[in-house]
């Protein structure tokens, strides 16, 4: 199946590394113009060299509500697709969670999605067309030890996705979320480096392996594309069957 994105522009947050970087790469190979948001744009230098006419990199701290709106203003009415990927993650047991940790999670994982989406959907509403994918997590669907703050922030993303789909659907704007399990990014390799912890999670997966970033990116592209034109308000686990089988 060929996914056609001719003439379209996408905004991708958290675009510098991991899943976000792979989403940018996959879109760029399909000649999509991409506005790539990251806190440190040096991570995007190689992609800009690889796709010099496709990628516009913006260095931005999405936790700053006002600065975000100002930075996006020149592009907001030109965006056809939005991927809310930027996120903060730290695993801390109940009893040791700090106020700062709560603020770090909710300001980026929740508030920033609301802010960016409100900016971008002004133009989408006018054109009566658009597609949004929010990158959530399996931790938003399943309770994991030490994931109280992170997991609850991602659960908020899943519910926001449903409400956005409800409110934006009449404007022909679709909103879905993906819920990846462990994905082989540099961050995950550190977080799941303990053999006992890693083997426990792998034992719960019917396919017996973790995600690769390209597999997540390909699912995002399908949801962005009109080939998935009636898929709306869905929280899609991408985890090799962990959530579905409840192993």
pLDDT of residue 49: 85
Number of domains in the chain: 1
Dihedral pair phi/psi, residue 80, rounded to 5°: -95, -30
Rounded to whole angstroms, the Cα distance separating 132 from 228 reads 12
Banded pLDDT at 47 (limits 50, 70, 90): confident
Rounded to whole angstroms, the Cα distance separating 13 from 15 reads 5
pTM of the predicted structure, to 2 decimals: 0.94
Catalytic hit among 150, 162, 243, 246: 150
Any catalytic annotation for residue 75? Answer: no
In a domain, 4, yes or no: no
Rounded to whole angstroms, the Cα distance separating 167 from 8 reads 23
Catalytic hit among 125, 154, 162, 243: 154
Rounded to whole angstroms, the Cα distance separating 94 from 73 reads 40
Dihedral pair phi/psi, residue 26, rounded to 5°: -65, -40
List the domain range (segments joined by +) for residue 166. Answer: 9-181+215-238
* pLDDT per position as a tens digit, 136-193: 999 899 988 889 999 999 999 999 999 999 999 999 999 999 999 887 787 676 666 7
Rounded to whole angstroms, the Cα distance separating 101 from 44 reads 27
CATH of the domain at 138: 3.40.50.720
Any catalytic annotation for residue 154? Answer: yes
In a domain, 204, yes or no: no
Tokens 């009566």, residue located:
128
């Amino acid at each position: 199946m060929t996914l056609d994105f001719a003439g379209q522009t996408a905004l991708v947050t958290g675009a510098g590394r991991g899943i976000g970087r792979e989403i940018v790469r996959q879109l760029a190979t399909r000649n999509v113009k991409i506005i790539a948001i990251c806190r440190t744009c040096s991570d995007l230098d190689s992609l800009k060299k690889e796709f010099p006419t496709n990628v516009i990199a913006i260095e931005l701290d999405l936790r700053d509500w006002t600065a975000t709106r100002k930075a996006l203003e020149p592009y907001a009415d030109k965006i056809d697709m939005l991927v809310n990927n930027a996120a903060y993650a730290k695993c801390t047991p109940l009893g040791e969670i700090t106020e700062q940790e709560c603020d770090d999670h909710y300001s980026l994982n929740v508030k920033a999605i609301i802010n960016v989406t409100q900016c971008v959907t002004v133009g989408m509403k006018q054109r009566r067309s658009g597609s949004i994918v929010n990158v959530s997590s399996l931790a938003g669907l399943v309770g994991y030890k030490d994931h109280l703050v992170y997991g609850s922030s991602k659960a908020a993303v899943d519910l926001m996705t449903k409400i956005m789909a409800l409110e934006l659907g009449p404007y022909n704007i679709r909103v879905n979320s993906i819920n990846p399990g462990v994905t082989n990014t540099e961050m995950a390799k550190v977080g799941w480096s303990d053999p006992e912890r890693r083997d426990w999670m792998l034992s719960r997966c019917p396919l017996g392996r973790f995600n690769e970033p390209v597999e997540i990116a390909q699912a995002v592209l399908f949801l962005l594309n009109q080939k998935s034109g009636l898929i709306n308000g869905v929280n899609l686990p991408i985890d090799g069957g962990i959530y579905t089988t409840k192993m």
